A and B are shown apart, each in its own frame.
Chain A
């Protein structure tokens, strides 16, 4: 079951995951080109988990958690990190085996390690989503989230999607035996120009940490939050028929972009410490309301399982 050759770098682990999930039939997508808090926000997960159309995708998603900034000093914590995300709908009955195969593919010898599925129910208050599943432990360390989506954007998931999320840095550090993320080889250690994770990201961690905690203009962020919220709702309020093309076009993805934006702006405001405990819930509720509206609209589109026949 195990892959005889151990990977030597961060990128090799990503490439192996890409190859593995491609070999299992997933469409290998690229990251979404917006700032998101987690791979789940990618429309390939949030929106595509809705409706009846089958789906199978895998991708890396750069993710940002502004409050986790530690100026590049903490061995495990980053404000910008990578998640590897797999979403298959309907969830296949051998998803656990497929997942374990991916661990073997990145060099975890399943005969020597103790892999455990430990209860962990997932909930995203901002996306109005929840599911049941586990955190997967490898020798006591959480290496992935494994979730069967039950609801997204307030809609029941039918069929149910199986979602896998790997925290890439942590997983790679474990596989490569590295204690500090900044020391992790990004490319092959014997490459002509070997680069560590620190070579690539230390400076940006410093810059963004300062930005997130002190630099970001909160007035502007607040204004942009309001704008994104209003724009999301405005885009969804257009009639279905597009006068130019004469086609039925709902602007769900553009609207959802504004929802993503609002979510990230909220995270930044939170990191700047300008949101009180009571306000916090209200902001989360506002983002969730947007996510729900986008979900409502998506299921009215072809990708979301809508058909002219069903509409009649």
Chain B
């Protein structure tokens, strides 16, 4: 079986697009081949800055012949019908077969679709792949109309068997496929031919190109670590940067340099961010001092001077960058020391947050008021929360955050300390944006929690009030993330907030019920990740107090645990049976059976036992629910399972005697009532 090698050689492909492009190439080509009737054993895709490569093993040499039979009109049919059949099959009368059918003799058309050879199919699939490739952004070049991520220069397409290699001939906009590629742009320029995948990889390596990005990552990581270790330093891991850098080089060479003494006083995050964002340098830490003291840059080549010139150039650029950072740092510190952190934020009055929601300064005032309200609910001092709220956004006006927006909050905490503000305020600066992602840590310090909640709830109620809610995939103000942030802050800290009330306090123009429903949707998504089913949450949300998320989750967890027990599952069935019979009877009789059953009409031990069990459960569930001891409430409910089952087995509800029937229906009503006092079990599925 032949192996297939495809290489699309172009000008430099953006690093961030390479992983997606590898997957797309693999999928489009293999899907296309399979659809055309070929099979293959194994597929692997690779990328360097200048090439996308796909290697397929064990491709079938041709697609199978397909035989299609079609039944036509009977031999006695009129001429028109027969002509129509001939037209639709593309055959002549003498090519048709005549067969016996139930109704007599009938024409049959047997059409053979011959199999096609692999080269034929590959050429077709590859051309289509190139023309429809899903680049996030693509472009035209020269006089052509073809679109690719950057100009496409050559196509290598080779089928290899034991007999040898064969170029799959195709042409896309003047680019003719062949069996050649190019090595490293500087270290090994020029084209060379290859005979198959192994030969390709080996010759590329000889031409200073490491094909596999995972191998490049490994090489540069090992080299970088060795350089750092040799000096008693350690590399700061950064997977994202590693993948990006591996997408920028074909022949990685790590070079290490020192950060000049004059910059070591900068906050480590500033050093790291500046080096990473602008220069794509790895940070190197001194484990003894804990400071970032060096960097590793990755060059795309070896040189005769072992990288000395390259390192010197990089150092120079770094020094210019860090001079800027140092200037920003010192400038900001000067302002904070003379005007305070609040003074730094003065210009926020001129910055519009949203044209319907006023300036950043107006927003900060709202957050301050709200943080003060929330503070007692989260165990924070109201005046401290207010003080923090006044300054947490000030660093948005700092020169450093202007240059590095990703340092917002963090710079605020440095500047708060420099301004002599309390530790809790400094921490709130840093932590009040959290949690950002679903895996981001949740703050627990009361002042930070108060401000973080106030910030997010102000945003949510504000956008709800002006009817700018997320729709479908559109959520330009990241409101889903804000709601999830509130949910995680509440749950992780076990906070007991009446959210509806807080919403109303934050913004009286907000439809608090609608916003709460949005929260409930987010909560379901969040709890699903914690393996709690949405119907369990629904059952709990139907209960009063559903804006107290901690309570909701406590109930849901108890209910979910209960449902996993045997008693739980059976009780639900018992409850549903009771509820169904009762609902049908109520619908039929046009009354509601809720007068309470009288034990004096009980017949037999099962019915008497159920009365006793319901009394006991009721007595236990009420206080347990009041004490929020949901485990005890569930246990009390579980005790109903056996008596309910026994009752249904032994007793006929729809008795002849109308008094008995009504009494039993009222008894079912008690089952329903008691169960519903724990959660709305009608929402439970299955």
| B49 closest partner in A (C-beta) | A117
Tell me which residues across on chain B come within 8 A of A110, comparing CB atoms: 186
| B14 CB-CB contact with A under 8 Å | yes
Tell me which residues across on chain A come within 8 A of B153, comparing CB atoms: 93
| A1 closest partner in B (C-beta) | B186
Q: Within residues 269 to 292 of chain A, which ones have a CB less than 8 A from any CB in chain B?
A: 276-278
Known contacts A96-B11, A113-B310; is-contact A160 B140 (Cβ 8 Å): yes
Known contacts A112-B305, A160-B140; is-contact A141 B316 (Cβ 8 Å): yes
Q: Within residues 88 to 117 of chain A, which ones have a CB less than 8 A from any CB in chain B?
A: 90-93, 96, 109-117
Report the minimal beta-carbon distance from A279 to chain B, rounded to whole angstroms: 11
Whether B186 lies near A115 (C-beta < 8 A) is yes
| B299 CB-CB contact with A under 8 Å | yes
Whether A132 lies near B137 (C-beta < 8 A) is yes
Whether B320 lies near A75 (C-beta < 8 A) is yes
Tell me which residues across on chain A come within 8 A of B140, comparing CB atoms: 148, 150, 157-158, 160
Whether B297 lies near A119 (C-beta < 8 A) is no
Whether A139 lies near B248 (C-beta < 8 A) is no
Report the minimal beta-carbon distance from B151 to chain A, rounded to whole angstroms: 7
| A138 CB-CB contact with B under 8 Å | yes
| A240 CB-CB contact with B under 8 Å | no
Report the minimal beta-carbon distance from B51 to chain A, rounded to whole angstroms: 14
Tell me which residues across on chain B come within 8 A of A132, comparing CB atoms: 137-139, 149-150
Whether A148 lies near B141 (C-beta < 8 A) is yes
Report the minimal beta-carbon distance from B570 to chain A, rounded to whole angstroms: 61
Q: How far is the CA of A116 from the CA of B323 in the complex (A)?
A: 24
**Mask for B1-44, Cβ within 8 A of A = 1, else 0?**
00000000001101110000000000000000000000000000
Tell me which residues across on chain A come within 8 A of B352, comparing CB atoms: 277-278
Partner of A277, one of B301, B312, B351: B351
Report the minimal beta-carbon distance from A280 to chain B, rounded to whole angstroms: 11
| B300 CB-CB contact with A under 8 Å | yes
Q: How far is the CA of A287 from the CA of B146 in the complex (A)?
A: 32
Whether A139 lies near B310 (C-beta < 8 A) is yes
**Mask for B112-142, Cβ within 8 A of A = 1, else 0?**
0000000000000000000000000111111
Report the minimal beta-carbon distance from B643 to chain A, rounded to whole angstroms: 71
| A134 CB-CB contact with B under 8 Å | yes
Whether B350 lies near A140 (C-beta < 8 A) is no
| Contact count A vs B, C-beta below 8 Å | 102
Q: How far is the CA of A90 from the CA of B143 in the complex (A)?
A: 6
Q: How large is the interface on B (under 10, 10 to 19, 20 to 34, 35 or more residues)?
A: 35 or more
Interface size of A by CB at 8 A reads: 39
Whether A174 lies near B186 (C-beta < 8 A) is no
| A77 closest partner in B (C-beta) | B324
Tell me which residues across on chain B come within 8 A of A34, comparing CB atoms: none
Report the minimal beta-carbon distance from B53 to chain A, rounded to whole angstroms: 19
Determine which residue in A115, A119, A133 has the highest number of CB atoms from chain B within 10 A of its CB, and name it: A119
Tell me which residues across on chain B come within 8 A of A112, comparing CB atoms: 303-305, 309-310
Tell me which residues across on chain A come within 8 A of B355, comparing CB atoms: 278
Whether B14 lies near A119 (C-beta < 8 A) is yes
Q: How far is the CA of A22 from the CA of B374 in the complex (A)?
A: 71
Partner of A160, one of B142, B301, B316: B142
Whether B313 lies near A113 (C-beta < 8 A) is yes
**Mask for B307-341, Cβ within 8 A of A = 1, else 0?**
00111111011101001000000000000000000
Binding site for B on A (CB under 8 A): 75-76, 90-93, 96, 109-119, 121, 131-134, 138-141, 148, 150, 157-160, 162, 174, 179, 276-278
The 10 closest A-B pairs by CB, nearest first: A139-B313, A119-B14, A117-B12, A140-B314, A159-B143, A114-B299, A132-B139, A90-B142, A112-B309, A90-B143
